Copies of this chain bind each other. A is one copy, B any other.
């Protein structure tokens, strides 16, 4: 019933590709039951293996969480890319990026929580290998900002603006669902209008440093 080798398998022995299966099980648990239900044993259970099996693919639970977070940042990058390829006005592009960022966090709240738990534990966002051709999600923002003000502002200013934008988007992503904001959302006419209004106030798109 089983062929000897299926060619496209990299490190499959008994299970096939348990590492992949574990990551997908973890994702399923996150979406279905939230971050508190994400135990190593639950992941193993979901994948149909013994509680000790994951230890042959991840050093400990933290390493599994980091792998999940890494995939999350890859997906975030894809979402940001998709959100701004069609838009050519650079300021509108920044606005779309901000909205897409927050909506990603809202669509996958449990995953987003794991992503930043790991980022804080590791003292930083995941960094792509220098030799890799495609850069990470942070550089998408930086590139867009360069389009906005690259001719007028220094590299340092662009870098600062990118950091500021990322912090703002992260802050908004974590707080946008707070009940305190509900009345204001209703007043402004919905979630996206609220997001764009807040992002405007954060000066993400003005590209103008040094207000006074």
A78 part of interface (Cβ distance < 8 Å): no
Q: A167-B171, A174-B116 are in contact. Are A206 and B202 (CB under 8 A)?
A: no
B179 lies within 8 A of A156 (CB): no
Choose among B119, B160, B168, B211 the residue that contacts A205 (Cβ–Cβ < 8 A): B211
> Which residue of the partner chain, among B160, B177, B200, B210, contacts A209 with CB atoms under 8 Å?
B200
Query: Within A141-163, which residues are at the interface with B (CB < 8 Å)?
Result: 156-157, 159-161, 163
> Nearest CB to that of A162 among chain B residues?
B201
Known: A160-B184, A202-B202. Contact between A178 and B209, CB under 8 A? no
Smallest CB gap from A120: residue in B? B174
A203 within 8 A of B: yes
Flag if A212 contacts B167 (CB, 8 Å): no
Interface band, chain A = 35 or more
Smallest CB gap from A91: residue in B: B212
Binds B, one of A23-31, A46-54, A121-129: A121-129
CB of A175 closer than 8 Å to a CB of B: yes
Which residues of B sit under 8 angstroms from A206, Cβ to Cβ? Answer: 203, 211
Closest B-chain residue to A113, C-beta based?
A: B120
Q: Chain B contacts of A180 at CB under 8 A?
A: 124-125, 127, 138
Shortest CB-to-CB span from A153 to chain B, Å, is: 10
Shortest C-beta distance, A115 to chain B (Å), equals 12
The closest CB in chain B to the CB of A175 belongs to: B167
Looking at the assembled complex, report how far the CB atom of A33 sits from the nearest CB atom of chain B, in whole angstroms: 15
Q: Pick the residue among B91, B124, B201 that contacts A179 (CB under 8 A).
A: B124
Tell me which residues across on chain B come within 8 A of A104, comparing CB atoms. Answer: none
Closest partner residue, chain B, to A169 (CB atom): B171
A7–chain B nearest beta-carbon distance, Å: 39
Q: A178-B123, A212-B205 are in contact. Are A166 and B171 (CB under 8 A)?
A: yes
Q: Would you list 18 pairs from A and B whose C-beta atoms are within 8 A, ordered by A residue?
A: A113-B120, A123-B178, A124-B179, A125-B178, A125-B180, A156-B188, A164-B172, A164-B199, A167-B168, A167-B174, A170-B174, A171-B171, A171-B172, A174-B174, A200-B210, A202-B202, A203-B211, A205-B211
